[in-house]
């Protein structure tokens, strides 16, 4: 089957978060199963294309003030997946993908509307797929366009759409006059389509018009149908619950494995854990703590610094946490308030809490390999990847039982020797502190702890199983579109 991905980022070309990892890895797994896969991405300033070749010289995109003309360049093929890039420098040749520290770019609606229309128009030349698989609000207009403006276009006669939600917290909200600006019909501005408390909601449009909706873990697919996690769209999802499902993200073990990792001080495996001690020493040295007691447990954090990630809980109990016999090393950037929180804690507890405010892939690998535990106290977490990376490195996760964190981590039971980590449910600092203390206590019994480490290292969250599940969804959507088309033709007759 021919599947075309449309997304706003993908490794190795552009990245701000886990979406890029998924879009970089899932298509390769699908291609390995025999599918024909292409990926459409914006060509940003940070996108490096050594041998770019223009494959569509001009795509005309109408706006209410003037036409805009994009082109499409080829990024070649990798692991059986072909990459195409929508090139329009006025919109994409910028320092960042979505905005500046001051906020989102004010023309994001126009930027990603142009991207969506360009994908559809380019596919007529480069090959119309059987399924468009779209990701997050930046490509959400593709399902909307296919069922409205392009509904009578014979090129897309029986093309299906699958839409994946990576994070319900980001929806693409814009003023009502965005619709005429993008040459979209006003009848989309209703409660049953794209209107959302007086604004246009791109994500809602995709949830309304896509043939099938997926998200990135089983638990999160259930949570987003509740008021607590649905961000106002839980009713839309409940109305179409029969075509909403969760498929757990996989991870790329070619990139994240202690047996092959090029960034770490020593390789190690479940059969030979000796290298992990060297990785711990290297990690402490990287944080200027080379003289710290190597017997102290090290808790790692690699994250966007955002309210979603639960750092307010750390703030609630930081004083008591710092009294425990452990060291915390954190890596991340994001909301200024949380960057300042970790810098302040580092100054207050320089021998206990260290931080690097940055995005640094090499340091992220060192944390996964060198830490003893990994902390993810998220308020909500659609899937999460770092806790899965941690398992492979024998770095025991401490997580809040939400979304993909709950799906991927099994609570440790020292009596039975089963489990892979530690979980807490209540969203408060006391629960976090209690669970950290439980992990620290378990760490004291190193024989038992190594059994716990090996349990996690033995887990397999590669993309193979998830890719097969997506293949089943594509087949189901193909059948749905065929049935719907046959019904429509019967009515016409």
User: Tens digits of per-residue pLDDT, 364-384?
Assistant: 999 999 999 999 999 999 999
Q: In the block, which residue shows the tokens 């692991």?
A: 79
Same domain, yes or no: 224 and 311: no
On whether both 122 and 235 belong to a single domain, the answer is: yes
476, 427: one domain: no
Does residue 470 fall inside a structural domain? yes
Please list, in sequence order, all residues whose beta carbon lies within 8 angstroms of the beta carbon of residue 292, skipping any fewer than 6 positions away: 284, 327, 351
- The alpha carbon of 173 is separated from its chain's Cα centroid by a whole number of angstroms, namely 20
- Residue 487: inside a domain: yes
- Taking a C-beta distance cutoff of 8 angstroms, is the pair 384, 376 a contact? yes
Q: How confident is the model at residue 490 (pLDDT cuts 50, 70, 90)?
A: low
Would you say residue 174 has pLDDT above 90? yes
- Rounded to 10 deg, the angle between the 463-492 and 18-32 helix axes is 80
Read off the pLDDT of each residue in 457-464 and give the average, rounded to a whole number. 95
Both 445 and 475 in one domain: the answer is no
Same domain as 482, residue 389 = no
Task: Give the model's pLDDT for residue 252.
Answer: 87
Is the pTM higher than 0.75? The answer reads: yes
Q: CA torsion 218→171→38→251, rounded to 10°?
A: -40
Residue 167 has pLDDT above 50, yes or no: yes
Question: Does residue 36 share a domain with residue 12?
Answer: yes
Domain ranges, residue 69: 2-250+464-492
pLDDT value for 463: 94
- List, in sequence order, every residue forming a beta bridge with 100; answer none if it has no partner: 103
What sections of 155-223 are H helices per DSSP? 178-181, 202-209, 218-223
Residue 168: inside a domain, yes or no?
yes
pLDDT, tens only, 439-458: 999 999 999 999 999 999 99
Is there a single domain that holds both residue 320 and residue 468? no
In a domain, 258, yes or no: no
Whether 160 is covered by a domain: the verdict is yes
Give the model's pLDDT for residue 249.
95
Residues 382 and 400 grouped into a single domain: yes
Of the pLDDT bands very low, low, confident and very high (cuts 50, 70, 90), residue 493 is very low
Identify the pLDDT of residue 492: 43
One-character DSSP codes across 202-221: HHHHHHHH-SEEEESSHHHH
The CATH number assigned to the domain holding 413 equals: 3.40.50.2000
- Using only the alpha carbons of the chain, give its radius of gyration: 24
Look at residue 489 in the predicted model and tell me its pLDDT.
Answer: 57
For residue 168, the model assigns a pLDDT of 95
Give a yes or no: residue 260 inside a domain: no
> If 0-12 CB within 10 Å is exposed, 13-18 middle and 19+ buried, where does residue 128 land?
middle
Q: Verify that 305 and 443 share a domain, yes or no.
A: yes
Is there a domain that residue 228 lies in? yes
Distances (CA, A) of 59 to 55, 120, 165: 11, 10, 28
Short-list 58, 57, 78, CA closest to 67: 58
Do 286 and 162 lie in one domain? The reply is no
**DSSP codes joined into one string, 267-289:** ---SS--HHHHHHHHHHHHHTT-
For residues 475-487, give the mean pLDDT. 82
The whole-chain average pLDDT of the chain stands at 95
* Count of structural domains, the chain: 2
- The answer to whether 328 and 351 are in contact (CB under 8 A) is no
Task: Read off the pLDDT of residues 179-204 as tens digits, 9 standing for 90 and up.
Answer: 999 999 999 999 999 999 999 999 99
Instruction: List, for residues 121-160, the tens digit of each pLDDT value.
Output: 999 999 999 999 999 999 999 999 999 999 999 999 999 9
Q: In a 10 Å sphere around its CB, with 0-12 CB exposed, 13-18 middle and 19+ buried, how is residue 315 labelled?
A: middle
257 occurs within a structural domain: no
Q: What is the pLDDT of residue 83?
A: 97
End-to-end, the C-alpha distance of the chain in Å comes to 30
pLDDT in tens, 28-38: 999 999 999 99
Note whether 219 and 289 are same-domain residues. Answer: no
Say how far apart CA 287 and CA 367 lie, in whole Å.
10
CA distances from 468 to 30, 180, 210, 217, 336 (A): 8, 40, 20, 15, 41
Average pLDDT over residues 11-24: 90
pLDDT > 70? residue 56: yes
> What φ, ψ does residue 68 adopt, rounded to 5°?
-120, 145
Quick one: 196 and 114 in the same domain?
yes
What Å distances lie between residue 89 and 8, 43, 46, 86, 492, CA to CA? Answer: 15, 8, 12, 9, 44
Contact in structure between 173 and 196 (CB atoms under 8 Å)? yes
């Amino acid at each position: 089957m021919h599947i075309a991905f449309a997304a706003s980022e993908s490794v190795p070309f552009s990245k701000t978060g886990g979406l890029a990892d998924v879009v970089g890895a899932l298509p390769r797994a699908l291609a390995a199963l025999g599918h024909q896969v292409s990926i459409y991405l914006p060509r940003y300033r940070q996108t490096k294309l050594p041998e770019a070749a223009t494959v569509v010289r001009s795509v005309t995109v109408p706006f209410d003030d003037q036409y805009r003309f994009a082109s499409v360049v080829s990024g070649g093929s990798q692991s059986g997946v072909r990459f195409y890039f929508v090139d329009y420098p006025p919109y994409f040749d910028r320092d960042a993908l979505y905005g500046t520290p001051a906020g989102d770019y004010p023309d994001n609606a126009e930027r990603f509307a142009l991207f969506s229309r360009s994908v559809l128009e380019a596919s007529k030349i480069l090959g119309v797929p059987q399924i468009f698989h779209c990701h997050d609000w930046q490509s959400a207009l593709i399902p909307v366009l296919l069922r409205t403006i392009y509904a009578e276009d014979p090129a897309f006669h029986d093309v299906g759409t699958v839409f994946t939600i990576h994070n319900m917290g980001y929806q693409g909200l814009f003023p009502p006059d965005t619709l005429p600006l993008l040459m979209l019909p006003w009848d989309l501005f209703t409660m049953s389509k794209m209107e959302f408390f007086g604004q246009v909601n791109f994500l809602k449009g995709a949830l309304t018009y896509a043939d099938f909706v997926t998200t990135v873990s089983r638990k999160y697919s259930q949570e987003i149908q509740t008021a607590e996690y649905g961000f106002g769209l839980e009713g839309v999802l409940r109305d179409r619950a029969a075509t909403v499902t969760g498929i757990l993200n996989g991870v790329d073990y070619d990139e994240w494995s202690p047996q092959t990792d090029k960034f770490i001080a020593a390789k190690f495996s479940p059969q030979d854990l000796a290298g992990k001690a060297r990785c711990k020493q290297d990690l402490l040295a990287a944080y200027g703590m080379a003289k710290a007691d190597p017997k102290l447990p090290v808790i790692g954090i690699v994250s966007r610094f955002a309210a979603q990630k639960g750092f307010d809980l750390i703030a609630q109990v930081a004083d008591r946490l710092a009294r425990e016999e452990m060291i915390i090393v954190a890596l991340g950037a994001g909301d200024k308030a949380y960057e300042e929180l970790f810098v302040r804690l580092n100054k207050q507890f320089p021998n206990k809490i260290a931080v690097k405010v940055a995005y640094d892939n090499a340091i992220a690998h060192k944390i996964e390999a060198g830490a003893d535990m990994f902390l993810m106290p998220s308020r909500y977490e659609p899937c999460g990847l770092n806790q899965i990376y941690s398992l492979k490195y024998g770095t025991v996760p401490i997580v809040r039982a939400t979304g993909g964190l709950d799906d991927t981590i099994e609570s440790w039971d020292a009596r039975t020797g089963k489990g892979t980590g530690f979980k807490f449910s209540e969203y408060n600092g006391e629960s976090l502190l209690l669970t950290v203390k439980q992990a620290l206590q378990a760490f004291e019994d190193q024989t038992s702890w190594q059994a716990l480490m090996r349990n996690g290292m033995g887990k397999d969250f590669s993309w193979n199983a998830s890719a097969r599940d997506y293949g089943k969804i594509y087949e189901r959507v193909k059948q749905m579109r065929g049935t719907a088309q046959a019904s429509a033709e019967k009515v016409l007759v």
